[in-house]
Amino acid sequence: MALRNSDDLAVHKHESIELWQIIPLLLAAILLTIGLAMFMSGIQHAVDVVQPIIVVFGGTLVALLITFPLGQLSHALQIALSRGIRGGNAPEEMARAMLKVCDVSRREGLLGVAEVRSNSAEVEQVCHLIGDAARPSDIEHSLTKSQASERMIHQMAVDIFLFTIVYAILIGALASIVRMVSTEGAILTGVNVLPFVSGVSLAILTTMLVGRLRSVHMREMVVVDIAYRSAGFILEDNNVQRLHTRLSLLVPPGLRK
């Protein structure tokens, strides 16, 4: 069959993340934090920022390792790379894949759809539901389970980055207080407040990542909705043009190209 194992049914392959892919992300975060901290504190020499950065990053990392299992931290880094950098899935890709599935059902029937293969777990699951002529209640149940799984994946990652924000600010503030107490000259100097500024800088960058993840999460929820709603639409009416019209209504205006 022409469309089985075809790129036409590819949505977005979530590949495993290797260590060499994560290291550039961490280095970029460190360099951006150094630059932002130097700008906010008025420090001109990057060498003066190294020690506070080590304290903030090291302290935050240790706090995260104590708070969360290592597997969850690794998963959060994978999510940060696949969603925060790559942007996750696109509703248009899922809609195109479902239109191809609808075309297969029109030409080859439900058994042909059951044999479709894709790199997307949602596409294959939907094809199995269509091939089995699933009842609307079964499709709705599968949709609910997939949405719950997506919420769990998102929440597990976001929790870690929210704690990163809190830890970075608190550890930076603590380091600045220790410097101020131990100093004999002026208290509020750029060097003394540098750890706190470094913590705030890391928190700002992490907040931007959290915002990005929330945006991608909303898009992923739309992708899941399109996939499983399509199963009901195709079983009800496998006309490709009418399916295209119905799926376009599922994509909010802000997520359309």
Those residues whose C-beta lies under 8 Å from the C-beta of residue 129, and which sit 6 or more positions away, are 138, 139, 142, 228, 231
Taking the alpha carbons at both ends of the chain, their separation in whole angstroms is: 31
What's the rounded mean pLDDT across residues 8-33?
Answer: 60
pLDDT at 224 over 50: yes
pLDDT, residue 145, reads 92
240 token code pair: 């490709």
Element (H, E) at 236: helix 190-236
Comparing C-alpha atoms, which of 163, 160, 196, 184 is closest to residue 55? 196
Q: What is the mean pLDDT of the chain?
A: 80
Where do the domains of the chain lie?
A: 18-255
pTM of structure: 0.77
Residue 111 vs residue 208, higher pLDDT: 208
Helices vs. strands in the chain: H and E counts, helices first: 8, 0
Distance CA 49, CA 64 (A): 22
Confidence of residue 6 (pLDDT cuts 50, 70, 90): very low
Please give the pLDDT value at position 15.
Answer: 45
